[in-house]
Amino acid sequence: MSRARIVIISIIAVFIILQLIPVNQINPPVVQKAVLPTEVESILQESCFDCHSHETNWPWYSRIAPGSFLITHDVIEGRKHLNFSDFSNMDAFDSSDVADEILEVLEEGSMPLSPYLVLHPNASLSNSETQIIMEWAKSLRPW
């Protein structure tokens, strides 16, 4: 067997073996959905819920390793930081904290994550959408 053929077969073998490593892409049940104004909810749903809720859409390519590892990692990390499907135990302090974090990422323009935007151009927030989310986030603060 030629060297090139061995290399190609090895790459294919590794690719196949990677597919056997389990990743958890089962959406947990919604604990307590955040109560959101309709307009805010539809924007967040389109731009943020894939990583910040239990209502994640898993497209076909999200199931294929090694990309599946990266995507699953972002979803699990995203839910840990902010989860619109688990607003239980939210007291005033928590929600103003969430508001500050949301305002911060919107000011920075750091969310949604840029690799996600490549595959979901519609998730990019327009100026007016950013404005709506910012107004809502400000309204969450007790002061």
Q: Element (H or E) spanning 33, and its range?
A: none
Task: Rank residues 55 and 77 by Cβ distance to ligand HEC and give the closer one.
Answer: 77
Q: Is 125 in the site for ligand HEC (CB under 6 A)?
A: yes
Residue for token pair 């539809």:
42
Q: Is 51 in the site for ligand HEC (CB under 6 A)?
A: yes
For residue 67, CA distances in Å to 57, 77, 143 come to 15, 16, 43
Q: Is 34 in the site for ligand HEC (CB under 6 A)?
A: no
DSSP designation for 87: -
> Which span sits near ligand HEC by CB under 6 A: 19-27, 28-36, 61-69, 76-84?
76-84
Which two three-digit tokens encode residue 30? 């919604």
> Which span sits near ligand HEC by CB under 6 A: 13-21, 31-39, 61-69, 77-85?
77-85
The set of residues, in sequence order, having a beta carbon less than 8 Å from that of 83 and lying 6+ positions away, is 52, 53, 54
Residues binding ligand HEC (CB under 6 A): 47-48, 50-52, 74, 77-78, 81-82, 101-102, 105, 111-113, 116, 125
